[in-house]
Structure 1
Amino acid sequence: MTTAVPEINPADPAVLHDPVGTYDRAREQSALAQMPIPGFGALWLVTRHEDARAMLADPRFELNSGSFMRPPGIPEHCLAYMRTMSEMDGPEHARLRRLVSPAFTPRRAAEFRPRIEPIVDALLDALPEHAEDGTVDLLAHFARPLPIDVICELVGIPEQARPSWREYGAAVVGGMGPAFVAAVPAIIEDAKAAVARRRAEPADDLLSDLLRVQAEDGDRLSDSELVTLAFHLVLAGQTPTNLIANGVEALLTHPDQLAALRADPTLAPRAVEELLRWCGPQLLATPRYALEDVEIDGVLVRKGEPVAAALVSANRDPRAFPEADRLDITRPGGQAAHLGFSHGPHFCLGASLARVETEVAITALLRRYPGLALGVAPEDLQRAPDGGTWRLAALPVTL
């Protein structure tokens, strides 16, 4: 390895405690870094915005099954449903994405807002019931249950099944550990049940739309693909959990930004974009594999080597964003686009829904509880020890 290329150890306590500072230093040293991962080998990290954006759209880098490290212990009969759209490239990926994408356009997300608002309101109504010693864990009782309730509504998971899906959502957000592995068989069985129910009782939801597509042309979407899509969309729909929690923490620790948003709620869409850039939960994009030798800023990535965009450093790159380390919800448009939802063919399918959901959640929370404040000193907030996701273990607040 070239001596000029820094190394980032994801298990280093300093990295876990301050990923922004760690990746910032690596970015200013080199456009590439390396990360040793036990059982995976060395992973190249693209640290700068322009190079990361280019790599994510470059067909010389592909996603494949090696991009996803599945935890051990998943039953054999479940593995057929675990290969999701995220693992596909080329025509196979394009076919499935084309079938599902009409449900996730900005227009459809905006139309879905009236169905998100009552879900948010119900969770906000219940917050005082969860208070202990004057504080409420906003992660456990708002940010975590909200996305699973919203995506269940969109996909078409029946009301009576949603308590189980809340448990599945919590297992997913908690990382790919034993709780997730234990939940997989039940998730797949419940996805099968949801597909069967919507086949018998169509409604205004995504599963019903996909079943209509299948009925019109059965060659385009198999039964197993339908179950996998239901499974994947519900799990992928958990993205806003940590975004909402990180965003609320950021606003509560930046009183000027909080005051600006309270004074002008129309800033909410720009605030969501800035929070995605400044404290988005995903530190790294999913690794791609080089299909040939590729040079990035003078460093040779050889054929077959894995490469990931370091979103945490690309989104704070001063080459792309003036005063990149400053949280500014009034940041003007026309600047470089953040990579919080990735870029290229695998740009997050649910980005529009996540934006609307986060906007509704944060604005409703601030409106309902004008005295909202952290329940502990900022330095006492605990982060989960996760080398891939910047997330809180809890978010205690006073209402």
Structure 2
Amino acid sequence: MTDAAQAARATAPGRVLDIDRIRADFPILAEKINGKPLVYLDNAASAQKPIAVLDAMDHYYRTSHSNVHRGAHTLGDRATTAYEGARETVRAFINAGSTREIVWTRGTTEALNIVASGLAKELKSGDEILVSHMEHHANIVPWQMVCERTGAKLRVIDVNDRGELDQDSFEQQLNDRTRVLSVAHVSNVLGTINPVRDMIAKARAHGAITVLDGAQAVPHMKVDVRELDCDFYAFSSHKLLGPTGIGVLYGREAVLKDLPPYQGGGEMIERVTFEKTTWADLPHKFEAGTPAIAEAVGLKAAIEYMEGLDRELIEAAEKALLERARELVHTVPGMTIMGTAAHKVPVFSFQIAGLHSSDIGTLLDQQGIAIRTGNHCAMPLMARFGESGSARASFAFYNTLDEVDQLFSALAKLQRLFAG
């Protein structure tokens, strides 16, 4: 049994995460990079895909491809059934109340833009939009664009030195002028899990619309949008073992129905004349044009794969990976970690004195180790910590403790060779 399987053993006898079987489900993990076995630690950017996802998309294209909703033939019916079946799978996955609340998007970024653009009609000068210092650019820039259009003001929740949202800052800035609270459920740079349920409750008491960027949360934890009580929740398929090119916007039906369409075209209409167009019912009024049908099928397969695993063991395995990384920081002289929050997913960003983050990434790639470098689309957060960028290692349940050890062994070697 591997170290990762041992670390993930649960309290009940016999419950063990079979990491070797799981890794066999991901063909790319057998690749060699620069002659070395691939150690893939860039999962926060995009996770790898299991055979189940690849097979589901291939089967769809081989047996069922057609456009959806409009075809008066068998293939059209098959494609529509697969496509709308995927929507139901997503609904159940996040416990939405209805498939009317599940809108297909191209990813988290488009989902957040749909919300920001749609809410703009409700905003005016003097209104405030509350975001945080740890947001991805996708949850900053759309709101800045809305502020420019409406005269609303962007307010920012501080982040403390541990990489947590400063709750005093949040409560001081939350007021009756706050029309929107839009924050990350989990930080893509720090891995911090934010106390969003409590923040949502406080924001709703002031009448604010609540929006969560869930891109980094859904791969690592169970998300229940009704328990969170948010108005909107956005996430991407490709971080959840699924394909690129598709994402999800959950919208509470009572709020979503009043949001105007983001794009116009076919599929999202009820009736078109040159005098007036009326919109289709939810969720279709937000889904203009031919959709990403195979990608929806792939996301469904990814969710079914995840739900076929023991989530308790998965979370235990990922916690063990993060704890091993924390234990090994001292083995690399000059290494510092950004953010030490108590509640984190297995994502950590770091610097090594004397080494630029891009050089770290390039040198690790020569050893077959894939990490992320740069500002991670979070420039304001980098500035908050006085950095222009960082290296970031992000783990998934298919990683092993041995791979964490390989990362730190390689980093210690780089430090000795180049930073000394």
Q: TM-score, normalised by structure 1?
A: 0.27
Instruction: Compare relative contact order (CA 8 Å, sep 6+) and give the higher one, 1 or 2.
Output: 1
Q: Which has the higher strand share?
A: 2
Q: Which has the higher helix share?
A: 1
Which is higher, the Rg of structure 1 or of structure 2?
Answer: 2
